[in-house]
Structure 1
């Protein structure tokens, strides 16, 4: 994997830095181009209940009060209706600064009930017509990030979902930007990952046909041979999703953001915030509690991690970039932004704990 930001991401991160710096300036006459680009836009967000989704919502609503509306795609879960889940989302502490600054921010939020894993996204005909007529920015951040999920579940959550959101995006009449949040590990079998598409383990159509026609026990037995050098079903299906996007997006204005391991925020919306104990976060908590005393690993291996608020800044900058006039040679070309830390800001697995320094 690349040990620094990709060239496209470097350009956009400078824009994201510009965004942060602009907001610090006392003069209200100077407005960020990125903030201005979201004015009067209507956004459809999948994955709004996830870690990235929550931080994206908190940031967008905090700095872009002139956004027209945000449609959040939510499915019923754990015996709760979509409306109850929306309320649960905004009860997280990351929204407290927003509530203090703008108590009526809920007025901008609209609910779309559905399920990414189902054919047609399980959206009602009436709500689909609303999206087709009103949406200008489509952010697809929904994914099943569990590494141990079955191939069938991963295929539905990551591949069939991509197929369905693309079909919806093509029906939207005023679409200015379609952003897909992938992962830099989608192409991890390669030693050097460029900001480009790579050949997947299999085509999306073949995978979906396979998981729908083969008994699940048989499919689980076949999975290791299907994955080959991909370490788990998550990254395997994310690569297939990227290939499907490349082949089926047509003339849609598309960009792909590929972050590495996402860790708690640095500053926005609040310092050191996370909503989960997945991956490195869970390991760190286990170490702090004394439950994890030894962890196998190669000491010199780099830890490629990025704070969630940095990823959200890049997402907003990439949407802004999609909405800018393009030269003929860049027209209809999908932009990809790899997001990993630079070498000078990368720790290794062999780093000493802070209390030994």
Structure 2
């Protein structure tokens, strides 16, 4: 079968950054399985304990490529790692590798980023903003470039509640080129001290540096066939290449993992706000379709318009709230539990900071202290209290995004979907209007059980028995707590009642004495 998108990627050489991350791996796998690309280069950062060759060897053994290798046994031979580092000057590329990229590459997909909300500003700038400028400079040297897809985030302009598919320079307190200039000349410690003043209304360095990167594109990439792809919160794959596949514990995924484990019970979340979550495989399809679309648009435009922006989030006609999503996840988890669960999974919500801090003591820290004490008595290493500090920090960092509903305009993305042929829609699906949320969350929890908890299906009966025992313990504890609370209330009631009658007797005593004297 030949379609517009398949024709575009046939015999193309693609350069991918962030190929060792979750979305990068899904994009590369999809390219190899569904298209006839000529070659894929992807940037690999050497680590202290592992070189590029070692990381590439481990990368090829990832489960995400299992389906691909059954269909195309030698598919990974088309992938070539390029040593480099997005946080380094010149992307850490050698002269020879730079020559290869500038002479051979036709499509660039830039997905590398630091997604840590608490990344020091100077580091986030190097990885998320300066690297984007360096990628643009590299792209300008590419002799055969047809398309450049920059992967941003739907929350890159989160100071606004209604986010349109346009650039927002008005959110920045200082132009991107000035901020990068400061970062080059000032010491890292001093740069990080300036972070609050520079960030303004941005809640973290991730969204701020992503917004700066978009301005770099707006100002410096006008002569390139480039687009910006803004995905919302990326969760597990829906269908491809393996249903529910996920390989990381970041953000919302980590919170779902903690709830499934039975350790996360109090959520600092507004249950009525809409959850802007999207499947990983759908995001890969949008990224690849965006590359095709920007190449098609650029081929017949004499004057470059501002780079198009494609926002990808749930459709207004098919929303889901955090409350409904979490309830759905818990119900599914009760049907397919894991043997590692340490308490019966449930969740309560609050949007009050003081109540969250108070509740964490009783929901998390006290049970965690008891659990860690039992571990110490068994000669094991305590784990929960340390984990709770990280969990609470993550909940506070995520609160600006799950306390309210952001209105995301997705007109460009919907128009791109409408412009695709029926065949391309089947090969590269990403229609959020028709997504079945129950089916998707069922696959998320199933994938989490298989790929994060690493539990096989033959442990299901054992897990269900364990969950039933935990349910009995949970209900028993609730009864005990209700009894203790009832006794306490009764004690307070008697105390107040006795005090009332004592005061009444004192008040009446002189009158009674006087009447008796008469």
Considering the TM-score relative to the shorter chain, is it more than 0.5? yes
User: Contact 1:263 / 1:305 at 8 angstroms: preserved in 2?
Assistant: yes
Correspondence for 2:218: 246
**Which of 289, 294, 302 is the equivalent residue of 1:322?**
294
Is the partner of 1:295 in helix, strand or coil?
strand
CA distance in 2, matches of 1:253, 1:210: 29
CA distances 1:150-196 after superposition (whole Å, capped 9, x unpaired): 00000000111011111100000110001100001010001211111
**Which of 205, 208, 213 is the equivalent residue of 1:236?**
208
Correspondence for 2:28: 57
User: Contact 1:202 / 1:240 at 8 angstroms: preserved in 2?
Assistant: no
Q: Does 1:88 align with 2:58?
A: yes
Structure 1 residue 285: deviation in Å?
Answer: 0.8
Correspondence for 2:431: none
**Which of 137, 157, 162 is the equivalent residue of 1:167?**
137
Correspondence for 1:33: 4
Q: Does 1:98 align with 2:71?
A: no
Q: Does 1:139 align with 2:109?
A: yes
User: Contact 1:166 / 1:248 at 8 angstroms: preserved in 2?
Assistant: yes
CA distance 1:101–1:142, change in 2 (3 Å): same
User: Contact 1:42 / 1:68 at 8 angstroms: preserved in 2?
Assistant: yes
CA distances 1:98-137 after superposition (whole Å, capped 9, x unpaired): 1111111122111211111111111111111111111110
User: Contact 1:203 / 1:244 at 8 angstroms: preserved in 2?
Assistant: no
User: Contact 1:253 / 1:332 at 8 angstroms: preserved in 2?
Assistant: no
Residues 1-357 of structure 1 aligned to structure 2 (within 5 Å): 30-64=1-35, 66-199=36-169, 200-324=172-296, 327-328=300-301, 331-351=304-324, 353-354=327-328
Instruction: Select between 206-215 and 39-48 the one with higher mean Cα deviation.
Output: 206-215
CA distance in 1, matches of 2:21, 2:268: 29
CA distance in 2, matches of 1:61, 1:81: 24
TM value normalised by structure 1: 0.88
CA distance 1:201–1:309, change in 2 (3 Å): farther
Structure 1 residue 286: deviation in Å?
Answer: 0.4
CA distance 1:80–1:343, change in 2 (3 Å): same
CA distance 1:41–1:214, change in 2 (3 Å): same
CA distance in 2, matches of 1:155, 1:201: 15
CA distance in 2, matches of 1:225, 1:317: 38
Correspondence for 1:4: none
User: Contact 2:222 / 2:306 at 8 angstroms: preserved in 1?
Assistant: no
Is the partner of 1:284 in helix, strand or coil?
helix
Instruction: Select between 192-201 and 302-311 the one with higher mean Cα deviation.
Output: 192-201
Correspondence for 2:364: none
Structure 1 residue 207: deviation in Å?
Answer: 1.4
CA distance 1:128–1:217, change in 2 (3 Å): closer
CA distance 1:325–1:205, change in 2 (3 Å): closer
Is the partner of 1:269 in helix, strand or coil?
coil
From the two aligned structures, give the one with the greater helix fraction. Answer: 2
Higher relative contact order (CA 8 A, sep 6+): 1
User: Structure 2: any 5+ residue segments left out of the alignment?
Assistant: 333-518
CA distance in 1, matches of 2:192, 2:9: 44
TM value normalised by structure 2: 0.61
Correspondence for 2:355: none
Is the partner of 2:115 in helix, strand or coil?
coil
Q: How many residue pairs are counted as aligned between the two chains?
A: 327
Correspondence for 2:339: none
Instruction: Select between 53-62 and 325-334 the one with higher mean Cα deviation.
Output: 325-334
User: Contact 1:251 / 1:332 at 8 angstroms: preserved in 2?
Assistant: no
CA distance in 2, matches of 1:345, 1:282: 25
CA distances 1:225-251 after superposition (whole Å, capped 9, x unpaired): 221110000000000000001110131
CA distance 1:32–1:118, change in 2 (3 Å): same
User: Contact 2:278 / 2:314 at 8 angstroms: preserved in 1?
Assistant: yes
CA distance in 2, matches of 1:69, 1:224: 43
CA distances 1:34-67 after superposition (whole Å, capped 9, x unpaired): 1121001000111100111000011110011x21
Instruction: Select between 251-260 and 217-226 the one with higher mean Cα deviation.
Output: 217-226
Structure 1 residue 32: deviation in Å?
Answer: 2.3
User: Contact 2:107 / 2:145 at 8 angstroms: preserved in 1?
Assistant: yes
User: Structure 1: any 5+ residue segments left out of the alignment?
Assistant: 1-29
CA distance in 2, matches of 1:158, 1:204: 12
CA distance 1:119–1:213, change in 2 (3 Å): same
Structure 1 residue 356: deviation in Å?
Answer: 5.7
